[in-house]
Structure 1
Amino acid sequence: MADTLNKTELVAKIAASTGESQATVDRVVGGLFEALSDAVGSGTKVSIPGWLAVERTHRAARTGRNPQTGETIQIAAGNSVKVSAGSKLKAAAK
């Protein structure tokens, strides 16, 4: 299983590398997630060149199947979120 880095650990790591307080970094990270949420919610694509792109996508209505009963069901149309890794993030993963 891969190691994980939760928000608290991320904030501590950023604070240590920048010299800022954890409270300041936590507010900035919270602001970043709020801005991402607002933009994606309104249909605006967020792009940070080389790192990542986040956008809302639309899924059309479709027919599915209940795996327990085999019954055909209709799945309503809806929105989803697509996150794409940029070249720098992909290079870091190699």
Structure 2
Amino acid sequence: MNQAELIAAVAERAGLTKADAGKAVEALVGTITDTLKRGDEIRIAGFGTFGVSERGERQGRNPQTGAEITIAASKAARFTAGKAVKDALNGG
């Protein structure tokens, strides 16, 4: 599902126009992004938790030359599914 399909599904399920659903989806994504940038977690009951994980600096290899390179430390978004989502995926 891409963003346009998500907006259409939200509009249909919530009885909104596609324009209003688009604003709601963009507001949700923006809020999640801003919260993660601050280093905070977002917990949505029955859905899951969005958080930030930190990756340390590490050594890697350039696949073309085989030369060792240093891969810089970085942050990555992570999502942990809640119990309701896990149960829905596993037929529970």
Q: TM-score range by the shorter chain?
A: 0.7 to 0.9
CA-based RMSD: 1.3
Residues 1-80 of structure 1 aligned to structure 2 (within 5 Å): 5-80=1-76
In structure 2, runs of 5+ residues without a counterpart are: none
Letter of the aligned partner of 1:55 in structure 2?
G
Q: Following TM superposition, by how much is the alpha carbon of 1:27 offset from its aligned partner in structure 2, in angstroms?
A: 0.7
* 1:11-61 Cα distance to aligned partner (Å, 9 max, x none): 212221221211111111110000001000110111112212111111111
TM-score with structure 1 length normalisation? 0.85
Q: Tell me the TM-score normalised to structure 2 length.
A: 0.87
Identity across matched positions, percent = 33
Aligned AA for 1:27?
A: K
Dislocated runs of 4+, deviation >2 Å: none
Amino acid at match of 1:52: G
Q: What runs of 5+ residues in structure 1 fail to find an aligned partner?
A: none
